[in-house]
Amino acid sequence: MDVGPPALCTSFPAMESYLIHVNGKTSPPSILDVHVSLNGGKGPSLGKGKNRKAHWAVRASEMSKRTFNPIRAIVDSMKVEPNHQKPLISLSIGDPTVFGNLPPDDEVIQAMKEALDSGQYNGYAPSVGYLSCREVVAGYYTCPEAPLEAQDVILTSGCSQAIELALAVLANPGQNILVPRPGFSLYKTLAQSLGIEVKFYNLLPEKSWEIDLKQMESLVDDKTACLIVNNPSNPCGSVFSKSHLQKILAVASRQCVPILADEIYADMVFEDCKYESLAKLSTNVPILSCGGLAKRWLVPGWRMGWILIHDRREIFGKEIRDGLLRLSQRILGPCTVVQGALSRILRQTSPEFYHNTLSFLKSNADLCYDALSTVCGLQPVRPSGAMYLMVGIQMEHFPEFENDVEFTERLIAEQSVFCLPATVSIFIRKRVMGGPGSYWSPGSCTWQRRGTRLGSTFPGPLLLSWPPPAFPLL
């Protein structure tokens, strides 16, 4: 029945009146029975329409079913107990804050407290971030070769959202993107859920994980929407040289493919190495550079990221800028308190903080590399930056293991050392952040597998092209 005024019907002078319907019962409605009709109750009565559902049928959407995190799938399927005689050394956690041995700079903490105490950052900001914060980020990254202004910056909820927005604005379902292998698994997770095909280009361990440019270029077709370049790399810990970056740009330029540069580890390189941003070297290739506070400032939980739009030839133009603006409106931008702290974080974090963090990472990287190099059958690739180290495994030295997952499981069971199996990103990786009471941990190792449990997700041809003995045919 329709329940009219005065009990359950309200009308507003400036608005169409509405009635609250109760499903055919005279008893007082429970909350679930109440429906609001904006057409004054003149539409078909509820429950009698042609399209009425006969049963409850609430299903997860197709998009949610296409969304798959390989790390979770692998880790969750590993059923093994650590050795209780030994303390657990977890080398599989990608969060630098977990063990408390890499605290953020005091300035960063004070900046956040100040922003909170000011009471000025409790409301909504524009969906692309406060203009003043965008100015600060632009000012931090601008350089004569790749100038940036506030309008070229979009603030996001972590670098993950920056990557999601960049992908969503550049690619339609049915198009494809080129993604590094081994690489950060999020690219595939996001692309698949957006209906975008992923094509893998190879990184070459024998060349310090440089891109196999020929193979990469061979993947480009008329449906290629963008090329993802991650430098410095997760999981390789590699840092591309200037000349290699120029060659990547040459491919993109020749093929007219824009670049999504995942530069979340920008400037996190060890002292004997130099970081160059792709945008600084690009003369014509349009680039969306994704970054954030998570790694360099060691506050991943604060979820502050950004997209820097580099488009000197106006190839992206208004089209892509407007698209990013529209997409940013889906969730109204990142946390405003962190935005309030951003200026102080970027301008006043002490140089010693950056220096100390990097020397800590480097000494752990060296320690891991040196130790692993002495193990017969293991072949670490020395990292030059970021927080990871990859290790090749010569499977003939470990005949008792069928694959990387088994190897990882045994490492847990015997030594209580928890690594990620390489199935996640094809190879062994090792984080080198140091751990509680132990110089070695946490880091993560993932071991190259020869099984085919996830063969369709990580197809084999790449492995076949890798030279034995360091990286065996599996």
Ligand X SMILES: Cc1ncc(COP(=O)(O)O)c(C=O)c1O
Please give the residues from 21 up to 80 whose contact with ligand X meets the rule CB under 6 A. none
Per DSSP, the three-state class of 455 is: coil
Q: Rounded CA gap, 177 and 185, in Å?
A: 14
- Given its phi and psi angles, is residue 269 left (phi above 0), alpha (psi -120 to 50 degrees) or beta? beta
Q: Is the dihedral angle over the CA atoms 99, 103, 109, 112 positive or is it negative?
A: negative
Closest alpha carbon to 90 in 103, 78, 99, 80: 99
Task: Rule CB under 6 A: choose which of 92, 176, 234, 336 binds ligand X.
Answer: 234
Structure tokens at 153: 């910056």
Please give the residues from 375 up to 434 whose contact with ligand X meets the rule CB under 6 A. none
Which C-beta is closer to ligand X: that of 233 or that of 403? 233
Nearest-10 Cα torsion for 403, 405, 407, 413:
-150
Which C-beta is closer to ligand X: that of 127 or that of 233? 233
Window of 123-131, 135-143, 156-164, 316-324 that interacts with ligand X by CB under 6 A? 156-164
Does residue 230 bind ligand X (CB under 6 A)? yes
What would the DSSP string read from start to end of 129-164? --HHHHHHHHHHH-BTTB---GGGEEEEEHHHHHHH
Task: Rule CB under 6 A: choose which of 105, 164, 210, 262 binds ligand X.
Answer: 262
Q: Which residues contact 101 (CB under 8 A, 6 or more apart)?
A: 360, 433, 434, 435, 436
Which C-beta is closer to ligand X: that of 95 or that of 145? 95
Compute the least distance from the CB of residue 340 to ligand X, in Å: 18
Task: Rule CB under 6 A: choose which of 70, 82, 94, 434 binds ligand X.
Answer: 94
Nearest-10 Cα torsion for 206, 395, 379, 102:
110
Does residue 160 bind ligand X (CB under 6 A)? yes
Task: Rule CB under 6 A: choose which of 19, 89, 153, 159 binds ligand X.
Answer: 159
| Residue 317, number of CB atoms within 10 A of its CB | 11
Structure tokens at 38: 């904006």
Window of 32-40, 152-160, 240-248, 310-318 that interacts with ligand X by CB under 6 A? 152-160
Structure tokens at 87: 């303390």
Q: Rounded CA gap, 159 and 304, in Å?
A: 7
Compute the least distance from the CB of residue 456 to ligand X, in Å: 24
Which C-beta is closer to ligand X: that of 169 or that of 186? 186
Closest alpha carbon to 149 in 165, 162, 136, 160: 136
Compute the least distance from the CB of residue 86 to ligand X, in Å: 27
Does residue 264 bind ligand X (CB under 6 A)? yes
Residue nearest ligand X by beta-carbon distance: 158
Which C-beta is closer to ligand X: that of 159 or that of 220? 159
Q: How many residues in the shown chain lie near ligand X by CB under 6 A?
A: 13
Sheet holding 287-292, edge to edge: 153-157, 304-310, 287-292, 259-262, 224-230, 176-181, 197-204, 210-211
Q: Rounded CA gap, 388 and 427, in Å?
A: 12
Does residue 251 bind ligand X (CB under 6 A)? no
Q: Rounded CA gap, 57 and 49, in Å?
A: 17
Window of 49-57, 121-129, 292-300, 460-468 that interacts with ligand X by CB under 6 A? 292-300
Cis upstream peptide for 469 (omega within 30°): yes
How many residues does this entry show for the chain?
474
Which of 24-28's residues contact partners 24+ apart within 8 Å by CB, and which partners?
25/1, 26/1
Q: Rounded CA gap, 380 and 466, in Å?
A: 15
Site string for ligand X, 432-471 (x = CB under 6 A): ----------------------------------------
Residue type at 217?
A: E
Closest alpha carbon to 304 in 470, 129, 474: 129
Task: Rule CB under 6 A: choose which of 96, 104, 237, 305 binds ligand X.
Answer: 305
Compute the least distance from the CB of residue 163 to ligand X, in Å: 6
Window of 32-40, 84-92, 155-163, 350-358 that interacts with ligand X by CB under 6 A? 155-163
Which C-beta is closer to ligand X: that of 20 or that of 324? 324
Does residue 93 bind ligand X (CB under 6 A)? no
Task: Rule CB under 6 A: choose which of 300, 385, 392, 442 binds ligand X.
Answer: 300
Task: Rule CB under 6 A: choose which of 180, 292, 333, 472 binds ligand X.
Answer: 292
Does residue 263 bind ligand X (CB under 6 A)? no
Task: Rule CB under 6 A: choose which of 129, 158, 434, 442 binds ligand X.
Answer: 158
Compute the least distance from the CB of residue 96 to ligand X, in Å: 9
Which C-beta is closer to ligand X: that of 217 or that of 262? 262
Which C-beta is closer to ligand X: that of 161 or that of 423? 161
Compute the least distance from the CB of residue 253 to ligand X, in Å: 24
Which C-beta is closer to ligand X: that of 160 or that of 202? 160
Which C-beta is closer to ligand X: that of 133 or that of 264? 264
Residues that bind ligand X (CB under 6 A): 94, 158-160, 184, 230, 234, 262, 264, 292, 294, 300, 305
